[in-house]
Amino acid sequence: EKKGAEGKKKGKKESLKQKKASVPKPPTPEPSIELTMSEEMIQKVIDDEEKIEKWNAYLDMVDDEVLQGLERAVECSLTLFMEEMNPDFQRAPLFEVTLELQNTDIVFVPSMIIDLEDPYCFYCVINGLLEDIVHMAIRVPRVSYSRSSLTYMDNILMSSDLNSMKNRILEQVKSTSTKAVEYLTLFEEYNYLWLDDRKLYLKQFLLYGHALSSEEELMEGKVNEEGVPLLKETPPKLLQFKIQIDEYENLYKELSTIENFMTFDRWLRVDNQPFKQALLNTVCKWGNMFKQHLVDFVINSLRELADFIEEADKG
């Protein structure tokens, strides 16, 4: 019995030891390191002019390295523009603008006309990109204390080499923009399509068989001393309608050959499709105007004939 009681006591003790062992102990906190410096030590560093000069010299050296790195970054970006805009290099176009017919004007989007007061013209957009490249330097804080009155961007703006690169890029933009604007002269002969009043043209055609010249417009509605109109009304024949309709159908075929894209100096591509589609739609409106008049004329004639036959049957 004694042995049994002792065994039970031992078992209880062992189980208690196991429970204590299973409970995790909290981690021992590491000793904190106090990063403090006495006023006396700070004063010693400040008073040591030799160390301050060496430290400032080191900061100036690092400052030079940072400035050189930023200048190389700006130069690399500007070089990319210059290479991609070089007409002698055979690459895909770098930029694209669209040609559109807006109201009564042919316009580029964005505008290729150089207007420094228009921030959305193509020239100002490119100039803005170049300025953004240079302005990235202002994001980097100055390392040197002795040069803190200037930012890195200020130094870069004073670089004659970088300014020369930027100016060469903008001169290329001006040159290519001029070529693109001159390209619009090819379409001046078609401006009557969107400038002339179609209703007025049809009215004159139905009265006189053709569109009136500026001199004939002055004579319209006037009579001579004998009371005879200065401008005699000569309604068009069916053949004249056919000539007009054929003219616009042939014009439609001609304008369909306009290139969808036009490239200038290999780096600027003009998308002609919006303008081309608008122009073709305008030609269709002119041709359909004459066709619709003939359709209406035939329908009205048949209606009058039907009414006449109906009246004749009643009589």
Residue ranges covered by each domain of the chain: 40-100+116-180, 187-220+231-309
pLDDT at 275 over 80: yes
Kindly compute the dihedral angle of the four CA atoms of residues 301, 303, 309, 310, in this order, to the nearest 10 degrees: -160
Average pLDDT taken over every residue of the chain: 86
pLDDT at 246 over 90: yes
Q: Which residue has the higher pLDDT, 221 or 99?
A: 99
Q: Give me the residues paired with residue 101 across strands.
A: 106
Amino acid (one-letter) located at 125: V
pLDDT at 13 over 70: no
Q: What is the pLDDT of residue 5?
A: 47
Q: Which residues contact 275 (CB under 8 A, 6 or more apart)?
A: 98, 99, 100, 101, 106, 187
Interval 9-17 mean pLDDT: 51
Q: What is the pLDDT of residue 307?
A: 79
| Residue 283 and residue 252 in contact, taking contact as beta carbons nearer than 8 Å | yes
Retrieve residue 275's tokens: 């303008």
pLDDT at 1 over 60: no
Q: Which residues contact 52 (CB under 8 A, 6 or more apart)?
A: 45, 46
pLDDT in tens, 258-271: 999 999 999 999 99
pLDDT in tens, 125-138: 999 999 999 999 99
Interval 133-150 mean pLDDT: 91
